[in-house]
Structure 1
């Protein structure tokens, strides 16, 4: 991560898209967040997400921003914060609606939330119906 952050620091303030790849500080954040989740360190991932609240990640495509929010939802769910997991899914939907609807990780978080909450959250039922997971 140190090398990736150092290399990203050599780029301008925004991520750049070259050779069908995204390079830059925002992309490093995305990969670090995903790494914490995959290594079962959800609290570290949640801390990263909290640090990013209100931060703009210039140069990242909407699908990358959507993926950031999907990973945030995964981290919040793993840390036991169902409400923030739902809010992160809603932010993913705002950033990249089609991705939020069909991405397997988003659908899994949504499926788990629906099974845990059942009918107690109207916005969850609406999101699940929109994604085709649940009859509201």
Structure 2
């Protein structure tokens, strides 16, 4: 998934699975959290801001320490937060945890 996103092919990345949660079942948090971050990157690339925020929130719920310091997670959060013009509870909570200033 990450390779497709890096190559600028987000539709192919998102097409890898119909149910990401089921595909990741049983894997450790160190594998699932980055996968959700990559899914968030792909969704952001196709213009699905809400979906990107949802996947980023899943990564935070699964492995908050990793999501806090993961460079791609931080970048997706920065982009999503700059695109949302109105107040969003999910965006208000996460900067305090990540140390990212809005």
Q: What are the within-5 Å matches in structure 2 for residues 92-131 of structure 1?
A: 92-131=59-98
Deviations, residues 17-57 of structure 1 (Å, cap 9, x unaligned): xxxxxxxxxxxxxxxx11110110111112225x1334143
Structure number with larger C-alpha Rg: 1
Higher fraction of helix = 2
Of 14, 17, 23 in structure 2, the residue corresponding to residue 46 of structure 1 is 14
Corresponding position: 1:79 with 2:24: no
Residue 120 of structure 1 and its aligned partner are, at CA, apart by 2.8
Q: Please, what is the CA RMSD of the aligned residues? A: 1.7
Asked if 2 retains the 8 angstrom alpha-carbon contact of 1:114 and 1:125, the reply is no
Q: Does 1:89 align with 2:49?
A: no
Aligned residues: 102
Looking at secondary structure, tell me which structure has more strand per residue. 1
Give the TM-score of the pair, scaled to structure 1: 0.68
**8 Å contact kept, 1:101–1:131:** yes
For CA contacts below 8 A with separation 6 or more, give which structure has more relative contact order. 2
The DSSP-based 3-state class of the residue aligned with 1:105 is: helix
